[in-house]
Structure 1
C-alpha cells in the first residue's frame, strides 16, 4: 500500500497536502539512511542522541529508515511520504546491536530534546509493556512536558495481538495507533486495551511500502508503520491551521484525528472484537474537515455510529478519558519493567535491489521543488562521514543494498509479500546548505540548519558516582593505590589490596595524584541510576585543596583556633602540601567522599551536587553496559549541597525573624519544613535538568541559601493573615497572644515553573513559584514566592529579589 492512500477523499489543493515547512515532526526510531533517494532535498536534521552509529543493514536501521520515509519521502522518489515538505528531526534511539530495546530514561531524553528543538509532533513507533501502563518517572515527566507545551506524541500500541497496554501509547495525553488491514479491520497482531478506547485510532498497517537502507523499497506490516501515517496526517492538519490564520495547535490536530475516526457498528461494545477497534479507523478527510472549521473540541464529529451501533456523539478528550476510567495519576512511580521501550515486531517482504526489478514510478503527484535553507546564527558544522550532520551523501547511482533477513511478527499472518519496487533515479542534488559554507558533491539529503540549540544546556542536581568502564581501568587504580594496612587480633600487621570503590581510599589517592582525576569516569546519579557522565571543561581553574572540605581562606582568628586543634592543624598542613587540582574535579572528589563517609547530622555531610554544563555529542559506556551522554561541566556554578549547613542557615533566619516579631517557634518543625523543600526539589520534581523549566527549578533549589530570609518570612507570614474575627481584632489591636503561644508556621506545598512575561532581550526567563500553606487550617490564604530566573546562560541567575503575594 502506498502511504498517501490514506489521504484519498481529502478536499484540499494538492500543494496543501504536501506539508508546511513551518511544521516540525520528530522521529524517534532506529538510525535512518538519509542518503536514500527518497530523502533527496528533504529538510531533515539528525540530532545527537545516545545512538551514534550510522544507518547500516540491521533491523533497526531498516525500521527507522522505513518509518521516516512514510512521512518525509519526497514526491517523484521511490517513496512519497505523507508530509514531505515538513521539517524533520531524526533522533535515533534504537540500535542495530541492541535488539531494538531502549530504557525509558533514554526515551525521555530524546523526547525532551525534540521539544527543545521545536517539534510539533513526535512519532514513536515503539513502546514498553508496563504493569498498569505507567511510565517511569522520567518518561512520565517528559510526556507531561509535551502536554504542557502542546506537542502531540503519536505512539504505536504494539504487535502482541493481546489485550495489553504499553507506554507511551497508553498514557492519556498520547495519541495511540493500532494497525488495520485494507478492509479497515484491526490486524490480529495489533494490541488493544482499555486505555486505547479513549486515545487510540486504527490506521493502515499491512504491507505499507517504504524505504530500505541502501536505496531499495519494501513493504512492512505492523503498528510501527501505521503510526507514521497518523503522524503525517496530524502534520498536515497543523499546516492547515497555519493557512487558516490560526496558531499551530498539534493537540487540536490529535483531537481531530480521534473525533473524525470512522466507527463501524459492533455489538456488544465490551466484546474483544469490538474493543480491538479502539476509537475507530483513521479518516483523514473527516479530520481535515474538522480542523478546517476550528478547534474540534467545540464540534461534533457528525454522522457515524459507535461500536455498539448507537448514534455517535463526539466527546471531549477529557470525557473520553473519564469514560475509560480516568487517566492514571501523575505520580513518581518506578517502572515495573527493566527492559525499556522497544520497536514493534514487523513482517516484511525482502527488499529488491535496482538490478532485481524494473523501475516503477509512483503515482503522479505535484513535484515539490527544494527550498533554500536559511542559516541561523551559530549553526553547527557536520561531523558525519562524507557529509554533514552525520549524514552520508548519496552517490549518483544508488548502491544495491544487502538483502535483509525477513522480520518475524508476533503472530504469523501468512501474508503474501507485497510487490517490492526498486528506487527511481535519484533526484537532482539539493541546493547547498548555507550554514555549511559550500556545495557538496553528489546528491543526498540537505541538512536543514534549523537546530536551535546545538549543544543544549544542562543544570542538573544529583549525587556523584564513579565508574571505571573496564576491568583493566579499575585494576590499574587498584595497583597504583596504596595497599590497606591492618592488624590481626594477635597484633600481626596485615596488608590487603586497595579498593578503588572505597570513597576514602579513592579520595586519598586522587588528592595525592590529582592528575588521575580525569581517568575516573565521574557520573551524576539520580538515586542509583547514572544519567550523565561528567568531565571538566578545558581549560579549568586550579586550586590547592585538602583531603576533605576545608576552606583555606582563613582569618587570623581561624588560624589561632586551628593551631589549638591537632586534627585541624594536620588537615591544614596536608592541604598546603597537596598538589593543585581542577576546581571541578575537586568538587567531584569531595562530594563523593562526603556522600559516603559522613552522617547526615554532620556539618560536612554532602547530600547532592548541582552541575552546570553543556551536553556534548559523545557518549560513554559504563562498566554495567549502560550508555550515558557526556556533559562538559563548567567551573562556574558547581555547588555542593552541605545539607545540614543549608538547613541551619534557614533555621537561623527564621529564628531571627521570629525573635523580632516576639514569637516562639519549634526549631524541629522548621528544620523538617526546610528538609521538605529540598526533598520536593530532588524527589518529587527530579529531572534531567535540560529544559528551561527544569533548569530554573533546580536553580531555585540550589539557591536556598540566598533566599533563606525570604523563605523564613513566608513561613511566618501566617501570623499576620487573620482567619477569624477574633484574630482580625487582635491583629488590628496589636500582638496576637494566641499566635505568640502557638504559632502556626506555613510549610511548602508545591513548586511550579512558567515562562516569565518579563525578560531581558535575548534571554530565557522562567518564573518559579513556591507555594506555602497552613497545614492546620486549609481555609487560610496561601502564600506564594515568585523567583524570576534567567536560564539562557550556563549558570542560571536570579533577576530580582523574590516577590511575595497571596494565593487562593
Structure 2
C-alpha cells in the first residue's frame, strides 16, 4: 500500500479512475433505506470522510475495536470507498446509503490480520440479513478446492438468496485457476480487479465458476481512507469488491427512485448481463476478466429500461450447485478464511505474496494487495437463539485446566471424571466454559445468569451426565446472545445466556417412544407402530443433521422448535401414514397472518406417495410457530392441502 501526502490527495480519486460514476451520481448518491453490510475489519469512524455518514457498528463474536493493525486499515479503506462523504478527502460511491459494520477480522499484536472461520463469517452473514441489509460485502475469501463452502456458510448464503439479499465477494488474489469461497457460490456476485487500462490484475483468480457470475472492476492502487487519518492506496480484489458494491447500491437506489421494487438481484443481473467482454487475445488474460468488466452505462441503461431480469435472475442465482459438485468433486476442508493478498509490487510488503495455486489458505482473509463521524455503535447483540446440539465443556486456558488437575482431577478432558468432580463440588461448575456443540464443533458458550444461575449449572451437569450414560443425544438451549468468549483452542464463540424453562435433553429413541406410545401387544398392530416410530425418527434425524443450524434466524428457530414439539409432529405423521405418504421436504416461510406483536413462521412438511409418484399429488401439512419470544410457541391448528 502507498500512503499519500496532501499534495497528491487532490490528484487521485474514484471519479478520476472511474469517470462513469458521474452518470450514477447525476441521479442518486444512494438511499438511506438501502442498508449495506460490511463484513471486514474494524473501521476507524473518526476519519474525516465518515463525518455525517449513516453508519452503525454491530457487535459480532469478533472484538471490533479499531486499532492500528492490518484489519482496521483494511476495514477502514473498504468502508470509505462506499460511505465516504462527498466534500471529504475520500468521496465514496454510495454515501447516501446506510452502513452496517460487522467486524469479522481482528488486529493481531504484530499488526497482521487475524482471519476468521467460515463459521464466524456465516454468523455475520445471518446477522446482516436479520438487521435488514440488502447488500452484504465480503472483501475476503478462502481458497477452496471445488469452491464449496462449509455447511454453515452455505446455509447463510442460501438464506441471503431466499431473502433477496445480494452477497458481493472478492474472487481472490492467488493468480491461479482456482476458486475462493464465498465468491465461488452461484448466488454471490464475484469481483476481481483490473488496472486503469482495463487489463485484469495478474493476481486475479479465474476459476471457471466466475465466468458465470463474476466481473472485474478497478482494483489497482485505489485511494481510500487510512486508519488514523489520511489517504492510502490499496490494490487487489478487496477494493474492487467495494467499488462494485457501491455501484450496485446506487443502481438499486435509482431503481427505487423509479418506483420499482428494491430487488438487488435485478441489479446483479444488470451488472452481469452488461459486463464488457474481453477484447484481449484469448488466453489467461481473458479468463482473468471473469464474465467481463464493470459497465456502468450499460447497467444503468438496463435499470432505466426496467429489463425483465427479476425473478428469473433470482432463480438462476439460487441454483448454486457448482460444476465440481455436479462432477462429483468434493472440497478440501479449510480451517479459516482470510482477506486476500495481491501480487507483489514496489508498494507491497512481503507478508502478502500470492500463494501457490494448490495451497489452501488458513482462513477467511481480506482481499487486498498489501497491500469521529456520523457513525454510531449499535446496542449489544442480544439476538434470540433456540439451538440444538450436545453439551460439552472447555477450560479457556491451560492454567484453568491445570487448576482442576491440582484439585485432584487426573484427566480433566475425560467427561466422566470431570463430571464426578463437579458433582462433588457443584461450585466448580462456574470454573469451566460450558459449550453447546454440533458435530464436535462448539457453537456457543452457555453461561447461566441471574438468580437461578445455580440451577442452570445443575441442568448442564445433568445434561452431560445423561449424555455420558447414553440417555441423551440432543439438548435444546433457548436464550439470547450477550458478548463472546475465547476457548482454549483460540476459537471465539458467542456467549449464550440460557432460558432455563426451555432447556431439555432427550434421546431420539426415547422421544419417539414417548410420542408414539407403548408398543402394541398385537402383532397386527406392531408393523404400523414401527412404521410410525420410524417416520418420526426420520423427521427428527433430518432436523438434527440435514437441517443443522445455529438457531439464530427466525426460520431456524421455528424448525428447531418443531423438533422439540414432537407431539404436534406426531399428529402430522399419524395422518400421513394413514394415507401411505412419506416425508419429502421441510420448508419454512413467513406466515401471511400473525397476531399483533408476534413473529409467525409456517413450518411446511411436504409428503409424497412413493408408490404413486406420478399419479398422486403431494400433500402439505402446515403449522405456525411464533418466534417473537425466547421460547417459540405454536399458534393455531394444523392445516393440510394437496399440491398438484
Give TM-score, length-normalised by structure 2. 0.88
Counterpart residue number, 1:699: 561
Counterpart residue number, 1:400: none
Q: In the TM superposition, what is the alpha-carbon distance from 1:647 to its structure 2 partner?
A: 0.9
Is contact 2:536-2:570 (8 Å) kept?
A: no
- SS in structure 1 opposite 2:304? helix
Counterpart residue number, 2:484: 619
Counterpart residue number, 1:89: 100
Selected match of 1:639 from 495, 504, 525: 504
Give the whole-Å Cα distance in 2 for the aligned partners of 1:342 and 1:153. Answer: 17
Selected match of 1:279 from 274, 291, 295: 291
Per-residue deviation, residues 691-711 of structure 1 (Å, max 9, x unmatched): 000000000011113442342
Give the whole-Å Cα distance in 1 for the aligned partners of 2:301 and 2:127. Answer: 32
Distance 1:513 1:778, change over 3 A: same
Give the whole-Å Cα distance in 2 for the aligned partners of 1:474 and 1:321. Answer: 46
- Root mean square deviation, CA, Å: 3.2
Selected match of 1:471 from 398, 408, 420: 398
Give the whole-Å Cα distance in 1 for the aligned partners of 2:289 and 2:124. Answer: 30
Per-residue deviation, residues 40-60 of structure 1 (Å, max 9, x unmatched): 111111111122142222112
Is contact 2:146-2:329 (8 Å) kept?
A: no
Give the whole-Å Cα distance in 1 for the aligned partners of 2:152 and 2:642. Answer: 32
Q: In the TM superposition, what is the alpha-carbon distance from 1:329 to its structure 2 partner?
A: 5.9
Give TM-score, length-normalised by structure 1. 0.71
Is contact 1:37-1:77 (8 Å) kept?
A: yes
Asked if 1:591 corresponds to 2:425, the answer is no
- SS in structure 2 opposite 1:647? helix
Counterpart residue number, 1:369: none
Give the whole-Å Cα distance in 1 for the aligned partners of 2:327 and 2:548. Answer: 12
Give the whole-Å Cα distance in 2 for the aligned partners of 1:102 and 1:596. Answer: 32
Is contact 2:394-2:435 (8 Å) kept?
A: yes
Give the whole-Å Cα distance in 2 for the aligned partners of 1:678 and 1:319. Answer: 31
- SS in structure 2 opposite 1:169? coil
- SS in structure 2 opposite 1:800? strand
Counterpart residue number, 2:362: none
Counterpart residue number, 2:643: 807
Give the whole-Å Cα distance in 2 for the aligned partners of 1:498 and 1:167. Answer: 43
Per-residue deviation, residues 119-144 of structure 1 (Å, max 9, x unmatched): 11111111011111100100000000
- SS in structure 1 opposite 2:500? coil
Selected match of 2:341 from 318, 342, 345: 345
Counterpart residue number, 1:608: 474
- SS in structure 2 opposite 1:686? coil
Counterpart residue number, 1:670: 532
Aligned length: 616
Per-residue deviation, residues 21-53 of structure 1 (Å, max 9, x unmatched): 111101111111111111111111111112214
Per-residue deviation, residues 768-791 of structure 1 (Å, max 9, x unmatched): 011223334323333322110000
Aligned pairs for 1:163-202 within 5 A: 163-202=177-216
Counterpart residue number, 1:141: 155
Counterpart residue number, 1:456: 383
Give the whole-Å Cα distance in 2 for the aligned partners of 1:534 and 1:782. Answer: 41
Counterpart residue number, 2:618: 782
Q: Which structure would you say has the larger RCO, counting Cα contacts within 8 Å and 6 or more residues apart?
A: 2
- SS in structure 2 opposite 1:466? strand
Counterpart residue number, 2:359: none
Aligned pairs for 1:510-529 within 5 A: 510-529=422-441
Distance 1:332 1:13, change over 3 A: closer
Give the whole-Å Cα distance in 1 for the aligned partners of 2:449 and 2:305. Answer: 53
Q: In the TM superposition, what is the alpha-carbon distance from 1:19 to its structure 2 partner?
A: 1.1
- SS in structure 1 opposite 2:567? coil
Give the whole-Å Cα distance in 2 for the aligned partners of 1:348 and 1:274. Answer: 21
Q: In the TM superposition, what is the alpha-carbon distance from 1:266 to its structure 2 partner?
A: 4.9
Counterpart residue number, 2:309: 297
Is contact 2:45-2:375 (8 Å) kept?
A: no
- SS in structure 1 opposite 2:272? helix
Aligned pairs for 1:274-673 within 5 A: 274-297=286-309, 336-346=332-342, 408-410=352-354, 443-447=372-376, 454-481=381-408, 498-540=410-452, 581-582=454-455, 584-598=456-470, 605-616=471-482, 618-652=483-517, 665-673=527-535
Selected match of 2:541 from 645, 658, 679: 679
Selected match of 2:588 from 753, 765, 770: 753
Is contact 1:159-1:345 (8 Å) kept?
A: yes
Give the whole-Å Cα distance in 2 for the aligned partners of 1:528 and 1:319. Answer: 35
Return 645-654 or 142-151, whichever deviates more.
645-654
Give the whole-Å Cα distance in 1 for the aligned partners of 2:291 and 2:149. Answer: 22
Return 230-239 or 90-99, whichever deviates more.
90-99
Is contact 2:324-2:330 (8 Å) kept?
A: no
Counterpart residue number, 2:6: none
Counterpart residue number, 1:772: 607
Distance 1:320 1:611, change over 3 A: closer
Distance 1:109 1:5, change over 3 A: farther
Give the whole-Å Cα distance in 2 for the aligned partners of 1:711 and 1:320. Answer: 34
Q: In the TM superposition, what is the alpha-carbon distance from 1:326 to its structure 2 partner?
A: 5.9
- SS in structure 1 opposite 2:442? strand
Q: In the TM superposition, what is the alpha-carbon distance from 1:204 to its structure 2 partner?
A: 0.4
Q: In the TM superposition, what is the alpha-carbon distance from 1:636 to its structure 2 partner?
A: 2.1
Give the whole-Å Cα distance in 2 for the aligned partners of 1:331 and 1:772. Answer: 29
Give the whole-Å Cα distance in 2 for the aligned partners of 1:229 and 1:287. Answer: 14
Counterpart residue number, 2:365: none
Asked if 1:237 corresponds to 2:251, the answer is yes
Distance 1:319 1:447, change over 3 A: closer
Is contact 1:261-1:281 (8 Å) kept?
A: yes
Distance 1:100 1:507, change over 3 A: closer
Return 757-766 or 665-674, whichever deviates more.
665-674
Per-residue deviation, residues 194-214 of structure 1 (Å, max 9, x unmatched): 101000001000110001110
Counterpart residue number, 2:551: 689
Per-residue deviation, residues 46-101 of structure 1 (Å, max 9, x unmatched): 11112214222211211111011000111111101000111001111111227342
Distance 1:455 1:5, change over 3 A: farther
Return 333-342 or 189-198, whichever deviates more.
333-342
Is contact 1:19-1:239 (8 Å) kept?
A: yes
Per-residue deviation, residues 533-589 of structure 1 (Å, max 9, x unmatched): 111131227xxxxxxxxxxxxxxxxxxxxxxxxxxxxxxxxxxxxxxx41x222211
Give the whole-Å Cα distance in 2 for the aligned partners of 1:230 and 1:519. Answer: 48
Distance 1:60 1:534, change over 3 A: same
Give the whole-Å Cα distance in 1 for the aligned partners of 2:262 and 2:122. Answer: 24
Counterpart residue number, 1:357: none
Q: In the TM superposition, what is the alpha-carbon distance from 1:755 to its structure 2 partner?
A: 0.4
Return 135-144 or 454-463, whichever deviates more.
454-463
Counterpart residue number, 1:306: none
Q: In the TM superposition, what is the alpha-carbon distance from 1:296 to its structure 2 partner?
A: 4.9
Q: In the TM superposition, what is the alpha-carbon distance from 1:523 to its structure 2 partner?
A: 0.5
Give the whole-Å Cα distance in 2 for the aligned partners of 1:647 and 1:320. Answer: 39
Q: In the TM superposition, what is the alpha-carbon distance from 1:187 to its structure 2 partner?
A: 1.0
Distance 1:785 1:114, change over 3 A: same
